């Protein structure tokens, strides 16, 4: 089963923890000096915030999945649609170890799809040479393919 994921960069972590704890009616399930996460069931969402020097606002969106099979199925959908993706198997990021891939929508919003393998003691680390191409929790994938851009509407309304 998929869980929607939202990661927001914030300027003041403690003020945002107070705010989102009130909004969600619960304290974070993970609270570090630079990061907090709420794993909620209703709605089924993984909502994370971090204070790590990024511009404040939505950092990325995504889906957290429960199995390797579900991750492979969603990755196949992306490949079949010829959307450029950056694979990151065995990544250590956001205090977790995960297999993941990143895509970017036509507006430039990063989307992360991942299967969490376990916890990690550090926020992010390069554990494999291939991970050096993208930053933890702030990917810079190449973006969508030109075919998708051509089919997007040029104007709204």
- Domain count across the chain: 1
Could you tell me if 88 and 134 are in contact, meaning their C-beta atoms sit under 8 angstroms apart? Answer: yes
Range of the domain at 134: 3-150
Q: Considering the domain boundaries, does residue 155 fall inside one?
A: no
Q: Considering the domain boundaries, does residue 157 fall inside one?
A: no
Nearest to 118 by CA among 95, 100, 87: 95
Contacts of 135 (CB under 8 A, 6+ apart): 124
CATH of the domain at 77: 3.10.180.10
Task: Please state, in angstroms and rounded to a whole number, the distance separating the CA atoms of residues 88 and 143.
Answer: 15
Task: Please state, in angstroms and rounded to a whole number, the distance separating the CA atoms of residues 74 and 138.
Answer: 20
pTM exceeds cut of 0.75: no
Q: Considering the domain boundaries, does residue 48 fall inside one?
A: yes
Q: Considering the domain boundaries, does residue 45 fall inside one?
A: yes
Contacts of 129 (CB under 8 A, 6+ apart): none
Q: Considering the domain boundaries, does residue 156 fall inside one?
A: no
Give the pLDDT of the chain (157 residues) as one tens digit per residue: 899 999 999 999 999 999 999 989 999 999 999 999 999 998 899 999 999 777 899 999 999 999 999 999 999 999 999 999 999 998 887 788 899 999 998 888 999 999 989 876 665 654 444 443 344 565 544 443 323 333 344 444 4
SS (H, E, C) 12-37: CHHHHHHHHHHHHCCCCCEECCCEEE
């Amino acid at each position: 089963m998929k869980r929607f994921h939202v990661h927001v960069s914030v300027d003041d972590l403690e003020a945002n923890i107070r705010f989102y704890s009130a909004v969600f009616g619960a304290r974070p399930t993970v609270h570090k000096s630079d990061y907090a996460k709420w794993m909620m069931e209703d709605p089924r969402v993984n909502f994370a915030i971090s204070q790590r020097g990024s511009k404040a606002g939505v950092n990325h969106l995504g889906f957290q999945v429960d199995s390797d099979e579900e991750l492979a199925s969603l990755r196949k959908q992306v490949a079949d649609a010829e959307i450029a993706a950056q694979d990151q198997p065995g990544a250590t990021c956001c205090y977790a170890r995960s297999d993941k891939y990143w895509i970017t929508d036509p507006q430039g919003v990063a989307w992360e799809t991942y299967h969490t393998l376990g916890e990690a003691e550090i926020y992010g680390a390069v554990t494999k040479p291939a991970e050096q191409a993208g930053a933890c929790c702030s990917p810079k994938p190449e973006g969508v393919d030109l075919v998708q851009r051509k089919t997007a509407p040029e104007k709204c309304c």
